[in-house]
Amino acid sequence: MNLVESITSAYKTLVHNKVRSFLTMLGIVIGIMSVIVVMSLGDSAKGLILNEVKTLGSNLIIIMPGKTNPKGPPSTLFGNVVTTLKYKDATQILKADNPHIESVCAYVQGTDVLSWSDNNPILTFKGVMSTYIEAEGAKLQAGRFFTEEEDNYNARVIVLGSKAAKDIFGEQNPLGEKVKIRKVNFTVIGVLAERGGGLAQTQDKEVFIPLKTAQNLLLGIDYVSSIRVKVDKSENINDTIMYIEDVLRRSHNIHNPDDDDFTVRSSETAIEAIAQITSAVQFFLVAIASISLLVGGFGIMNIMLATVQERTREIGLRKAVGAKNSDITLQFLIETSFITLVAGVIGIILGALISWLVAVVAQFFGLQWDFIVSPFSIFLGCFVSVGVGLIFGIAPARRASLLNPIEALHYE
């Protein structure tokens, strides 16, 4: 029996037992589909993160509270509350005599209901310094941003992101209107221009108030969650990072760098660390998805063992007319591999379809989410499905090859 005849035999086996074949292939289909989806979403997420570098700019330095491994993620990434950064740290950096520092801005944030008339959306509010516009490269669509004096005296003023303004006020002019957050009234003094694509687009849905107002009137805290420093040129990033670390160590009375209670990184370095976490999570999810391939492999082995029993007389006849054990083994391995390859192709198609749908939904919500199904993931899906067929087809193929031809011909 040649290759074509073996594949034809495998096809007949699939068609003859449609329900059983479907249930047997289901594990492989789900496993390959899951692997394709996880790899595709992981690659798309990495692309989104890398696109964020362009949004943030390569000349930004990010200061986070807490000591962090240089190659690890920020200590606050997993929801840890670290209170070692203060408002004074930002002001000292801002007042430092460094010609490369253009702007400094500290941040805090919270989420709560913003009330206006009968409209009560839940929004993220950010407490920022008056330097936010310069530090972020943001622009005003209408009105103005708050001043340093308003920040220092807990002014109850608010600036809306472009989408937040539209969601709350529709086509009405929001300037001068009163809104309420946690029973505190704020006067709308400005609306930011639309930021565009990327994760920064979420800022279009946020609202901004003076940092000290957020600390004292809304959050009841005396620390900041992060500080951003804008540098004149990206080539001056490393020197400026060293300068900022020196300023903060003097401010925090730290003499040994090993005792640092803060982390200073460039925006690109911070995003690379997050990308590493994404890769690790992607690998972990692929490993979990692969478990269903193991289950599917046992299903394939079971159906092929049943097929060997059903075709016992055929095997006996082939051996009686001169077929070698290796010929019988090869026939069943080819049939098993064909079945798993078909299941793998179906899984790849379904996985790509689901990934495409996710990309469409993400793009609908304004994210720069690319639809990515790499050739490597397709190759891996085909390779793994055939590999599962070969591995789990060995036992049925060996059982078939060891049948005694005389006993097989008498099998009823």
Give pLDDT tens digits for 130-152. Answer: 999 988 888 899 999 999 999 88
Q: How far lies 266's CA from each of 56, 59, 137, 230, 276, in Å?
A: 10, 8, 16, 10, 16
Residues 113 and 206 in one domain: yes
pLDDT band of residue 406 (cuts 50, 70, 90) is: low
**Range with lowest mean pLDDT among 18-27, 130-139, 216-225:** 18-27
Instruction: Give the number of domains in the chain.
Output: 2
Distance, CA of 236 to CA of 66 (rounded, Å): 24
Sequence-ordered list of residues with C-beta below 8 angstroms from that of 235, at least 6 positions apart, any chain: none
- The 3-class secondary structure across 297-314, one letter per residue, is HHHHHHHHHHHHHHCHHH
> Which of 14-18, 52-56, 199-203, 345-349 has the highest mean predicted lDDT (pLDDT)?
345-349
Interatomic CA distance for residues 371 and 380, integer angstroms: 18
Considering the domain architecture, whether residues 203 and 246 belong to the same structural domain is answered as yes
Domain annotation covers residue 70: no
% of the chain residues with pLDDT over 90: 23
> Residue 189 above 90 pLDDT?
yes
Of the pLDDT bands very low, low, confident and very high (cuts 50, 70, 90), residue 56 is low
CA distance 147 to 210: 9
Q: Answer yes or no: do 109 and 237 share one domain.
A: yes
Q: Looking at the structure, do residues 109 and 252 belong to the same domain, yes or no? A: yes
Q: What is the dihedral angle through the alpha carbons of 43, 44, 48, 54, rounded to the nearest 10 degrees?
A: 70
Greatest mean pLDDT among 19-28, 105-114, 200-209 lies in 105-114
- 67 in any annotated domain: no
State the DSSP code for 119. B
Domain end point (choices 260, 285, 305)? 260
> Domain residues for 189?
83-260
The length of the chain in residues reads 412
Reported as a single tens digit per residue, the pLDDT across 254-286 is 888 888 888 888 776 666 666 677 777 777 777
| Measured distance CA(341)–CA(384) in Å, rounded | 9
Q: What is the mean pLDDT of residues 315-327?
A: 70
Q: Does 332 lie in the same domain as 300?
A: yes
Residues contacting residue 170 through CB under 8 Å, at least 6 positions apart: none
Q: Residue 204 domain-assigned?
A: yes
- Give the pLDDT band (50/70/90) at residue 213: very high
The average confidence (pLDDT) of the chain is: 81
Q: Which of 232, 260, 288 is the last residue of a domain?
A: 260
Write out the DSSP string of 251-266.
HTT--SGGG--EEEEE
* pLDDT the model gives residue 185: 94
Please give the single-letter amino acid code of residue 128. V
Predicted TM-score (pTM) above 0.75: no
Confidence of residue 201 (pLDDT cuts 50, 70, 90): low
Q: Are residues 23 and 127 in the same domain?
A: no
Write the DSSP symbol of residue 145.
P
pLDDT value for 271 = 65
Amino acid at 379: F
CA-closest candidate to residue 126, choices 226, 210, 221, 222: 210
On whether residue 344 sits in a domain, the answer given is yes
| 98 — pLDDT class (breaks 50, 70, 90) | confident
Q: In angstroms, what CA-CA distances link 332 with 23, 113, 391?
A: 19, 65, 12
Both 93 and 237 in one domain: the answer is yes
In angstroms, what CA-CA distances link 135 with 103, 139, 352? Answer: 5, 11, 40
160 part of a folded domain: yes
Domain stops at, among 260, 285, 311: 260
